[in-house]
């Protein structure tokens, strides 16, 4: 192979399944190895993913720990990959939690289906997830390293979740060097816990996300006030519960910080906060262990929590029995639970118990992919199916986009504007079909760049200059 080739194996004209294969005559590697998520054909895509010779890969680069970027790594290893997986130290610690949890869910679903007389093999096992962590190699932000004789890399802070990265990759190909930049998921400046995204000055080839590339988030101050009003109205006026579906990694820690801040500012009433997700508990411990890369506000909030203040009462729930009893709480509770898109985990139990009650509220704070239970709730369905039952939706539904850990359209454009020159090729990924194409059109109109939206399984030759 004379030229450099990039193949888009996921997150092409859709949000999940991030995976990009880079090949030259001397090196072969992937960036990210994520699960496809949502309804429809996600399960089929996960089964068919990684349909190439994984044993010939030289290394893997991982932008961050969210499962739509990391969730097929154990399957990659099970298929025979034995090389290193490079990521930041915080991402490495989060992977220990997230991959084991994903594997446990797979194994449990397999058991349920077999009991029902249906055949279902897990994508991977807990043992395979644990073996995957042995291949992880830790890196630091802004430090150059060489995963291969013809490649050197640098991880930059993406400001999305703890440990998230933009990856700069310099590839030597037959005497010429090309710089590739993978944005990963870019965060929104001013977001809790994490620092703001780093700016990149140049790239020959740029792969940029577009999750919110066609819309703007509400300003953070307005977002925080909307959240506070929703909680106050539900707890003080309606005398109900607040249910918050949240990603266990990133969003849950943001919400804990926000609740502590609002209570200290006397903008929330006394209430009982339950974090009902063992993975969120573990992820919060990881956050406490990596405050060296967190922002100052996060450090202050975490110290407040560790000081064991009586209010706000924040209880981390691990036990299944205690989790089930939360469904019997009638009022005064704010329950944060996973999964963030409501498709799995304990959140479904709390939605089933509280959605039919008009005195309760559900606060949606993150992206809801097409086909998910969370998306059906956001779209205004009057009834949703949970555990085989039709559950009426009578609770108030709040969609608070300003808490998103993803950059909005203008933030993405501002990030792009810091490049000193136009990349030779720019690929827009990690967005729903219409969003990705709309954001690509916006880049063309605003920046006059050459932009493409790759299709699934498409490959592009990047010629030497």
Tens digit of pLDDT for each residue in 425-459?
A: 999 999 999 999 999 999 999 999 999 999 999 99
Q: Which residue has the tokens 């077999």?
A: 114
What is the reported pLDDT for 33? 98
Q: Which residues contact 353 (CB under 8 A, 6 or more apart)?
A: 327, 328
* Closest listed residue to residue 326, CA positions, set 272, 375, 371: 272
Alpha helices in 24-137 (DSSP H): 42-48, 67-70, 73-78, 89-115, 126-133
Asked: is 220-403 a CATH 2.40.128.640 domain? The reply is no
Low-confidence ranges of the chain (pLDDT < 50): 465
* Closest listed residue to residue 247, CA positions, set 106, 341, 352, 368: 341
- DSSP annotation of 269 reads -
Domain 4-215+405-462: assigned CATH number: 3.60.15.10
What is the reported pLDDT for 311? 62
What is the reported pLDDT for 343? 85
What digits encode the pLDDT tens for the residues 291-319?
888 777 777 776 666 665 656 788 889 88
- DSSP annotation of 332 reads S
Structural domain spans, the chain: 4-215+405-462, 220-403
Q: Which residues of 425-460 are buried (b: 16+ CB within 10 A; e: fewer)?
A: bbbbbbbbeebbbbbbebbeeeeebebebbeeeeee
Q: Which residues contact 243 (CB under 8 A, 6 or more apart)?
A: 335, 337, 347, 350, 351, 354, 355, 360, 361, 362, 363, 395
Q: What is the mean pLDDT of the chain?
A: 92
Is pTM beyond 0.75? Reply is: yes
β-pair partners for 245: 337
What is the reported pLDDT for 111? 87
CB 200 within 8 A of CB 181: yes
CB 288 within 8 A of CB 348: no
């Amino acid at each position: 192979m004379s030229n450099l080739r990039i193949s888009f194996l996921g997150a092409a004209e859709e949000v999940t399944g991030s995976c990009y294969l880079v090949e030259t005559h001397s090196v072969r590697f992937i960036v990210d190895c994520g699960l496809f998520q949502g309804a429809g054909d996600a399960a089929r895509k996960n089964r068919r993913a990684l349909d190439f010779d994984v044993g010939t890969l030289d290394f893997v680069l991982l932008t961050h720990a969210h499962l739509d970027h990391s969730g097929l790594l154990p399957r990659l290893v099970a298929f025979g990959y034995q090389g290193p997986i490079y990521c930041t130290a915080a991402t490495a610690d989060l992977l220990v939690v997230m991959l084991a949890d994903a594997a446990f869910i797979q194994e449990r679903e397999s058991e349920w289906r077999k009991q029902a007389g249906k055949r279902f093999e897990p994508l991977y096992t807990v043992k395979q997830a644990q073996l995957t962590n042995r291949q992880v190699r830790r890196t630091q932000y802004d430090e150059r390293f060489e995963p291969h004789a013809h490649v050197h890399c640098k991880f930059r802070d993406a400001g999305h979740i703890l440990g998230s990265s933009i990856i700069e990759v310099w590839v030597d190909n037959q005497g010429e060097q090309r710089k590739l930049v993978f944005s990963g998921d870019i965060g929104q400046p001013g977001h809790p816990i994490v620092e703001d995204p780093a700016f990149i000055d140049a790239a020959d080839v740029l792969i940029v996300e577009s999750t919110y590339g066609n819309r703007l988030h509400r300003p953070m101050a307005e977002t925080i006030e909307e959240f506070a009003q929703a909680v106050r109205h539900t707890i003080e006026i309606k005398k109900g519960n607040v249910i918050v579906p949240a990603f266990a990694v990133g969003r849950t820690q943001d919400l804990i910080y926000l609740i502590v801040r609002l209570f200290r500012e006397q903008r929330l009433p006394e209430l009982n906060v339950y974090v009902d997700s063992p993975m969120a508990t573990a992820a919060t411990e990881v956050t406490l262990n990596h405050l060296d890369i967190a922002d100052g506000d996060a450090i202050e909030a975490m110290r407040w929590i560790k000081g064991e203040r009586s209010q706000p009462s924040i209880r981390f729930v691990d036990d299944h029995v205690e989790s089930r009893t939360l469904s019997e709480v009638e009022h005064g509770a704010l329950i944060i639970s996973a999964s963030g898109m409501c498709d799995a985990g304990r959140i479904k139990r709390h939605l089933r118990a509280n959605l039919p009650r008009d005195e309760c509220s559900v606060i949606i704070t993150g992206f809801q992919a097409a086909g998910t239970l969370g998306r059906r709730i956001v779209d205004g369905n009057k009834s949703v199916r949970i555990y085989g039952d039709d559950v009426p939706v009578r609770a108030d539904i709040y969609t608070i986009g300003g808490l998103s850990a993803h950059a909005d359209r203008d933030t993405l454009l501002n990030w792009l504007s810091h490049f000193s020159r136009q990349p030779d090729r720019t690929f827009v990924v990690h967005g729903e079909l219409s969003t990705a194409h709309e954001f690509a059109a916006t880049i063309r109109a605003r920046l006059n760049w050459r932009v493409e939206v790759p299709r699934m399984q498409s490959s592009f030759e990047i010629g030497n200059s």
